[in-house]
């Protein structure tokens, strides 16, 4: 396998069959086009976001053209774990052109450890394009990034992923979500859209040092 092909995978409008993708996991991956965070909150007692990095870096070989770039000029990159009941459930990877981040997505800079969905799914100016799906093998760069944080994921032959483009004004944001083994057995709350929890919504005035952790018993 060439170095170039190792950096790419086949993204498709449909999630291909794989015996390792249980019916429950498939419901998580192919569920509604609303907020995954809202579904995770509904399926867990405690939810939090752990930010792994947020800095300019070169987009992946299968990302820069989606962003509308002419080359692999560094883009603002954000990576987080979405954690349910102290177990990582999702590895999320977001890229946006730096000039678009300043102009169309200014909240990114101060988002900290709050969920991205707290802005995307409450802003009527944001539009989402249909999902693309893939099965990520261990050599894929996103798997490599995940395995540096969670080495136990390295032996897994495949992890399902999806990605979608968000648009706000002329700004393009690409969000990729990698589904981890916790969701093999964590019951999916269904396929219908779940309203985004009001207590997770963020504003430009929210403090950038805020860390999100929700508990069922403290919410209404």
Point out which residues pair with 95 in neighbouring strands: 77, 174
**Between vectors from CA 184 to CA 180 and to CA 185, what angle results, nearest 5°?**
125
Q: What's the confidence (pLDDT) of residue 145?
A: 98
Alpha carbons 20 and 30: distance in angstroms, whole number? 15
Q: What's the confidence (pLDDT) of residue 213?
A: 65
Query: Is 198 annotated to bind ligand?
Result: no
User: How is the chain split into domains, by residue range?
Assistant: 3-185
Query: Is 174 annotated to bind ligand?
Result: no
| Residue given tokens 């968000």 in the structure block | 166
Where helices occur in the chain by DSSP H, the ranges are 3-6, 23-30, 36-42, 98-103, 117-120, 141-149, 182-185
Query: Is 116 annotated to bind ligand?
Result: yes
Concatenate the DSSP letters of all residues of 76-138 into one string: EEEEEEEEETTEEEEEEEEEE-HHHHHHT-GGGGG-TBS-THHHHTT-TTEEEPPPEEEEE-T
Using DSSP's 3-state secondary structure scheme, residue 161 falls into: strand
Assign a CATH topology to domain 3-185: Chorismate lyase (3.40.1410)
- CA neighbor of 53 nearest in space, from 95, 15, 100, 87: 95
State pTM to two decimals: 0.86
Q: What's the confidence (pLDDT) of residue 219?
A: 35
Q: pLDDT tens digits, the chain, 220 residues: what are they?
A: 444 544 567 899 999 999 999 999 999 999 876 789 999 999 999 999 999 999 999 999 999 999 988 889 999 999 999 999 999 999 999 999 999 899 999 999 889 999 998 889 889 999 999 999 999 999 999 999 999 999 999 999 999 999 999 999 999 999 999 999 999 999 988 655 566 555 555 554 443 333 456 665 433 3
Cβ proximity of 128 and 175 under 8 Å: no
Q: What's the confidence (pLDDT) of residue 14?
A: 95
């Amino acid at each position: 396998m060439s170095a170039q092909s190792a950096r790419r995978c086949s993204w498709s409008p449909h999630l291909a069959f794989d015996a390792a993708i249980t019916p429950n996991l498939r419901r998580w991956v192919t569920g509604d086009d609303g907020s995954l965070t809202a579904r995770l909150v509904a399926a867990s007692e405690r939810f939090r976001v752990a930010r792994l990095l947020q800095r300019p870096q070169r987009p992946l070989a299968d990302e820069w053209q989606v962003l509308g770039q002419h080359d692999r000029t560094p883009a603002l990159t954000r990576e987080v774990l979405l954690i349910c009941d102290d177990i990582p459930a999702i590895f999320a990877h977001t890229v946006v052109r730096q000039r678009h981040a300043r102009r169309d997505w200014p909240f990114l800079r101060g988002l900290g450890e709050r969920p991205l969905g707290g802005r995307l799914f409450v802003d009527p100016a944001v539009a989402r394009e249909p999902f693309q799906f893939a099965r990520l093998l261990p050599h894929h760069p996103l798997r490599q990034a995940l395995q540096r944080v969670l080495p136990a994921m390295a032996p897994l032959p495949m992890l399902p992923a999806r990605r979608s483009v968000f648009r706000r004004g002329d700004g393009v944001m690409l969000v990729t979500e990698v589904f981890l083994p916790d969701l093999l057995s964590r019951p999916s709350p269904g396929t219908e859209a779940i309203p985004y929890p009001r207590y997770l919504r963020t504003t430009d005035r929210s403090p950038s040092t805020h860390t999100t952790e929700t508990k069922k018993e403290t919410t209404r």
